[in-house]
Amino acid sequence: MSTSGYYEWASRLPSPRAIADATLTMTIRRIHSASRATYGAPRVLAELRLGLGVQVGRKRVARLMRLDGLVGVSHRRKRQAWKPDTATHEDLVKWQFRADAPTRLWLTDITEHKTAWIPAVVATR
C-alpha cells in the first residue's frame, strides 16, 4: 500500500455499513443485558425480528455478538454414567465368590450355552 493510500484510508469516514453495524451492536447489547446475559444469537435474533421488527440476518447477529464478546448461557443436559440398580431382593442362592484353593471355584452363566426359545404353553381348563 502506498503512503498516500494509507493516509487516505485512515482519514476516511466510516461506511454506512459500519455505522449500521455499530447501531445494531448497541441494540444487541441492550437486548443481551435485558436478558441478564442469557440470550444467545438465536434468541437475540428473534427479539430483533419479532419484538423490534428489525430485518437482519442470523449470521450478522452472530458475527456482531462474537466481535463484541457476547455469549448466551447453554444448559445442555449432561449424560449421566450408567450405574446398575441396587438389588431389590435378597440373594437366595447364597453365592460364595471366594475360593478355598486355586481352581476350586468355577462360575458360568447361561449366555455361554446355546438354547432354543420355547414359548410358554398356557394350560387351559
Residue 89 forms part of a structural domain: no
Question: Tens place of pLDDT for every residue, the chain, 125 residues?
Answer: 799 999 998 999 999 999 999 999 999 999 999 999 999 999 999 999 999 999 999 999 999 999 999 999 987 777 777 777 776 677 666 776 677 787 776 666 777 667 666 666 555 55
Work out how many domains the chain is built from and give that number: 1
Residue 105 forms part of a structural domain: no
Residue 21 forms part of a structural domain: yes
Residue 117 forms part of a structural domain: no
pLDDT score recorded for residue 79: 77
Residue 14, C-beta contacts closer than 8 angstroms, at least 6 positions apart: 22
Q: How far is CA 36 from CA 13, 26, 40, 68, 118, in A?
A: 35, 16, 11, 16, 63
pLDDT score recorded for residue 101: 80
pLDDT score recorded for residue 38: 93
Residue 123 forms part of a structural domain: no
Show the domain range for 58: 12-68
pLDDT score recorded for residue 8: 92
Residue 56 forms part of a structural domain: yes
Residue 99, C-beta contacts closer than 8 angstroms, at least 6 positions apart: 105
Residue 17 forms part of a structural domain: yes
